[in-house]
Structure 1
Amino acid sequence: MATELLQLIWLASPALPVGGFSYSEALEAAIDHEHVHDEASCADWLADQLHLSQARGDMALMAQAIPAWQAMNTDRLKDLSQWAHTTRETHEMRLQTEQMGRSLLDWLRIQNKATEVALKLCSDMRPTYPMAMSLALSLAHAPLDQALQAYAFGWAENMTQAALKAVPLGQVSGQKILARLAQEIPEAVQHAIALSDDERQAFCPMLAVLSARHEIQYSRLFRS
């Protein structure tokens, strides 16, 4: 149990060398267009993104990919990987998921825990971040809800750090935002686990529009 917990903490850590700190996932564009301007609006924005984008999309995908990796269900994994690629709505979103996926796969090779078969399959599918993270989480052999909570908290921490720099906000505001997201993560995880293939979706028009606008934003700190 201790080993499982430590693996989850490690995968949720901002120190994981995947470059998550360099992306804001359109938050910077939301700030530029004044949708986000203070602690309250930032907390609302990220909570909406957690429930409407992450829980219905990547987290739902991972809820299905983790057991598929454990069973090495190749056909299922290829279908899920294809869905991950086709649901990146902008150039920035695609570059982010592919760069972070490659980096996490490199980390997994260094850790020497995944089998060569699993590493090759992930590489051949052009790794996206949710698929590579699903492989990493599957190796922890933790309960599915705990695995997804670890992923979601890692995402929340990266996004909160982006908000501190871009809004900008102080550390106290950041902790309040993170506390709210942590409180809402269990509900988002249960929603993700409950979704079927037909219910899984990637439909957040404003997020996609702002991501596209960020690609030509005059001044920016982040790659997305």
Structure 2
Amino acid sequence: MIMRTIIPTGTTRRTGTRMTDTALLTLSQWMSPSFPLGSFAYSHGLEQAVSEGAVHDGASMERWLDAVLRFGGGWSDAVILSVVLRGAEPHEMADFAAALAPTQERWIETRDQGAAFARTVRDIAGLDVEDAAIPVVVGVAARTLDLPVETVLMLYLSSFASNLVSAGVRFIPLGQSDGQSVLSRLHPVIAQIAQTASCASLDDLATSAFAGDVASARHEDLDVRIFKT
């Protein structure tokens, strides 16, 4: 008699696949706007750029975000996250990230969101993660997921860009559809940066988004502010 195993619809024979799917869902939760980081309060200097008129519509916001992703905080965060995922010592990288912050507000932004992320993953997952800059904390936590480095980087950068698009939608103001169109056009940029950073070293780390850094510094003295940074 031939015995047959019936696999219910929607299940899989491969435990490894189920584990990967669960890990991807976990990372998606961590990178979700609903994850309690307080990221809605930070604009990465975008508020200053809008106040000065440098960013005033979808096209100018896309150019600004493209530069930040390729040459500013997006690239530096991606490299730090990548090297942590690949085994770099977290305390050393935490000190490096602190030294790399170009302004006081940018340090506050990465420090506070990193602390909020660490606190939440300690509470919900019991992970032993210390407070640090957010790319360091995410890297340490994501090591437990055993996902490809490039995948983690893409979701991190997508979350980073999404938060800034949301800030632009609220402050320019920009329509929701226009904001999502900007984010969609940035997907190839995000994928390219993730691919490059996935095998980068600290020797590849350099930034040249000077206008964004100056906007962050000038934001410290902005008279009326909606965002912390």
The equivalent residue for 1:86 is: 99
Structure 1 counterpart of 2:121, which letter?
L
Q: Quote how far apart the aligned CAs of 1:15 are.
A: 0.5
Matched residue count: 210
CA distance, structure 1, for counterparts of residue 93 and residue 165 of structure 2: 28
Gaps of 5+ in 1: none
Whole-Å Cα distance in 1 between the matches of residues 39 and 200 of structure 2? Answer: 26
- Provide the C-alpha distance between the structure 2 equivalents of 1:57 and 1:139, rounded to a whole number of angstroms: 22
- For 2:95 and 2:54, the matched residues in 1 are separated by 32
Match of 2:69 in 1: 50
Give TM-score scaled by structure 1 length. 0.88
> Hey, what does 1:15 align to over in structure 2?
34
Q: Which amino acid aligns with 1:32?
A: S
After TM superposition, the structure 1 stretch with the greater mean CA deviation from structure 2, 202-211 or 84-93, is 202-211
Q: How do 1:68-83 and structure 2 match up within 5 A?
A: 68=87, 76-83=89-96
158, 180, 185: which one aligns with 2:185: 180
Rounded to whole Å, the distance in 2 between the matches of 1:202 and 1:129 is 18
| Residues 26, 211 of structure 1: 8 Å contact kept | yes
Unaligned runs of 5+ residues in structure 2 are 1-19
Question: Residue type matched to 1:12 in 2?
Answer: M
Q: Does 1:136 align with 2:149?
A: no
Q: Give the counterpart of 2:121 among 108, 113, 122.
A: 108
| Secondary structure at the counterpart of residue 114 of structure 1 | coil
The residue that corresponds to 2:206 in the other structure is 201
2:79 to 56, 60, 69: 60
Equivalent residue for 2:54? 35
Moved more, 164-173 or 2-11: 2-11
Match of 2:16 in 1: none
Amino acid corresponding to residue 212 of structure 1 in structure 2: A
The answer for the alignment partner of 1:25 in structure 2 is: 44
8 Å Cα contact 1:113-1:139 kept in structure 2: no
Matched, 1:149 2:146: no
Structure of greater Rg: 2
Cα distance per residue 1:84-122 (max 9 Å; x no partner): 00011111111111111111111011123424xxx3xx2
Amino acid aligned to 2:96 = W
Secondary structure class of the residue paired with 1:56? helix
For 2:210 and 2:221, the matched residues in 1 are separated by 18
Alignment-mate amino acid for residue 45 of structure 1? W
Q: How far has the Cα of 1:55 moved from its partner?
A: 4.6
Moved more, 50-59 or 9-18: 50-59
- Paired position in structure 1 for 2:23: 4
Matches of 2:201 and 2:21, distance apart in 1:
31
Matched residues in 1 for 2:173 and 2:141: separation?
33
